[in-house]
């Protein structure tokens, strides 16, 4: 096995770009962008569980399944579908890296739990932000704190504005995406 094959993090990536990425992570200058499919099979499990708990038919994707709920008052009846999952070891390893910022589209509590396990103790404070709060976000290499931006809210929240969109309207009018224009300033 060649040296390149042994160290390859991303299939097909060059050793030089891998080293640059690792240096940025180690220096606390890398941003993690984590999607809803952070754990294999989780989305399919959530769709089935939400459909069973809410008495609806399984939909093609998680967003459509959540739209079937229609109102925030119905989130409570499906919340336990989300709380029965725990972070897998690979997600905990990813969360243990010294990210300068974590941005997630995940609406489940698993990413938060992974980061809380690795850095939420005395070593690193975890600060959860939602799009309106993230507008003034600036780069930080503070090893004592990590900001996690939850782009589409979270089912473990009680505040209606911090819940995932339950109708098409919030997605169409940009309620959850107003933060995105400033992300290009931060990420560049």
pLDDT tens readout for residues 52-75:
999 999 999 999 999 999 899 999
Distance CA 144, CA 154 (A): 24
What pLDDT does 140 receive? 62
Distance CA 158, CA 6 (A): 46
Q: What is the mean pLDDT of residues 20-30?
A: 79
pLDDT exceeding 70 applies to what percent of the chain? 75
What pLDDT does 183 receive? 37
> Would you say residue 171 has pLDDT above 60?
no
What pLDDT does 141 receive? 63
Backbone φ and ψ for 73, nearest 5 degrees, come out as: -65, -20
Distance CA 151, CA 175 (A): 10
pLDDT exceeding 90 applies to what percent of the chain? 43
Strands 101-104 and 145-150: parallel
- Kindly give, in sequence order, each residue whose CB lies less than 8 Å from that of residue 32, ignoring residues fewer than 6 positions away: 94, 97, 99, 101, 102, 103
Residue 34's H or E segment, with its range, is strand 31-34
What pLDDT does 138 receive? 61
Which region among 127-136, 141-150, 162-171 has the lowest average model confidence (pLDDT)? 162-171
In this structure, the chain runs to a length of: 188
Q: Residues 87-144: pLDDT tens digits?
A: 999 999 999 888 888 999 999 999 999 998 886 455 678 889 888 777 767 656 677 7
Segment of 16-20, 43-47, 178-182 carrying the highest mean pLDDT? 43-47
**Is the CA virtual torsion 34, 153, 59, 47 positive or negative?**
positive
Tell me the pLDDT band of 20, cut-offs 50, 70 and 90: confident
Task: Calculate the average pLDDT of the chain.
Answer: 79
Q: What is the mean pLDDT of residues 145-166?
A: 90
Q: Are 125 and 137 in contact (CB under 8 A)?
A: no
Q: What is the mean pLDDT of residues 149-159?
A: 92
Distance CA 81, CA 116 (A): 20
Helices 75-83 and 42-54: angle between axes, nearest 10 degrees: 150
pTM: 0.75
What pLDDT does 19 receive? 83
């Amino acid at each position: 096995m060649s040296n390149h094959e042994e160290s390859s993090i991303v299939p097909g990536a060059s050793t030089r770009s891998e080293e640059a990425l690792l240096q940025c992570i180690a220096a606390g200058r890398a941003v993690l962008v984590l999607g809803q499919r952070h754990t294999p099979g989780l989305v399919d499990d959530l769709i089935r569980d939400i459909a069973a708990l809410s008495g609806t038919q399984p939909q093609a994707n998680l967003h459509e399944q959540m739209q079937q709920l229609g109102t925030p008052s119905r989130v409570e009846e499906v919340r336990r579908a989300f709380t029965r999952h725990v972070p897998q070891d690979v997600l905990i390893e990813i969360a243990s890296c010294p990210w300068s910022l974590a941005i997630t589209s995940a609406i489940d509590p698993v990413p938060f739990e992974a980061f809380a396990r690795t850095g939420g103790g005395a070593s690193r404070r975890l600060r959860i932000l939602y799009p309106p709060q993230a507008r003034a976000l600036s780069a930080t290499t503070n090893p004592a704190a990590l900001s996690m931006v939850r782009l589409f809210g979270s089912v473990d929240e009680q505040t209606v504005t911090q819940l995932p969109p339950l109708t098409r309207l919030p997605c169409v009018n940009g309620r959850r995406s107003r933060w995105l224009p400033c992300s290009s300033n931060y990420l560049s």
